[in-house]
A = this chain, B = another copy of it.
């Protein structure tokens, strides 16, 4: 109505628009059961248009997951401010940022780790996931260097740390960490249990 061009002939940036719509639907429904046709519909284009930008539905899902990993990485990086007093505190902050991200974007987080976002198919998705993992790994290396973390095989700590964070995130968004079941503030408490096993002295 108030637009000078009522309908742009060629839309401009449909790829981005489709992604945004899909992210919206993911956030609204907290699942990715949405249909590609519905995404097209809501974006205001014909139901076949998306195929000019995504080979198939799964390719769109993988792109959403990739974006999710990037955003997660940003959130974690931002959280582990170098002002924090210790590497342990940084780890705690990054972990809580990850879990917070999951709780705020449960659908997206689930998608990122689901088999519908197959990392063996899309190298850029695989890389995005690895980069996020790398954030924690970097922290552990730093912790071992500065002596605050025990000099255990870094791989063991990395596996434990990543598993812990991801596991807590999944449990949190599945509402399996409700207070009445598992006490208040279970997440930092659980992370402390792990960190007690990772760090040298308290």
A residues neighboring B (CB under 8 Å): 30-31, 110, 113-115, 119-120, 129, 133, 152-160, 162-168, 170-171, 174-177, 181-183, 186-187, 189-198
User: When the two chains form the complex, which single residue of B152, B190, B198 contacts A163, counting CB atoms closer than 8 Å?
Assistant: B190
- Given A155-B182, A170-B167; A198-B189 close (CB under 8 Å): no
Taking the closest CB of chain B, its distance from the CB of A72, in whole angstroms, is 15
A-B contact pairs, 11 of them (CB 8 A): A129-B176, A152-B189, A157-B190, A159-B168, A159-B182, A159-B189, A160-B168, A164-B167, A166-B170, A167-B168, A195-B197
User: When the two chains form the complex, which single residue of B119, B170, B192, B197 contacts A156, counting CB atoms closer than 8 Å?
Assistant: B192
Cβ–Cβ contact A171 & B177, under 8 A: no
User: When the two chains form the complex, which single residue of B133, B189, B197 contacts A196, counting CB atoms closer than 8 Å?
Assistant: B197
Q: Which residue of chain B lies nearest to A106 when distances are taken between CB atoms in the complex? A: B115
Quickly give the copy total for this chain. Answer: 2
Taking the closest CB of chain B, its distance from the CB of A98, in whole angstroms, is 12
Residues in chain B near residue A153, CB distance under 8 A: 183, 189
Q: In the assembly, what is the distance between CA of A148 and CA of B48, in Å?
A: 63
Task: Label chain A's interface by main secondary structure.
Answer: helix
Residues in chain B near residue A156, CB distance under 8 A: 183, 186, 189-190, 192-193
Q: In the assembly, what is the distance between CA of A30 and CA of B118, in Å?
A: 12
Q: In the assembly, what is the distance between CA of A59 and CA of B7, in Å?
A: 44
Cβ–Cβ contact A157 & B193, under 8 A: yes
Residues in chain B near residue A191, CB distance under 8 A: 160
Residues in chain B near residue A189, CB distance under 8 A: 152-153, 155-156, 159-160
User: Which of A133, A155, A175, A195: most chain B CB closer than 10 A?
Assistant: A155
- Given A186-B155, A196-B197, A197-B194; A160-B171 close (CB under 8 Å): no
Residues in chain B near residue A158, CB distance under 8 A: 182
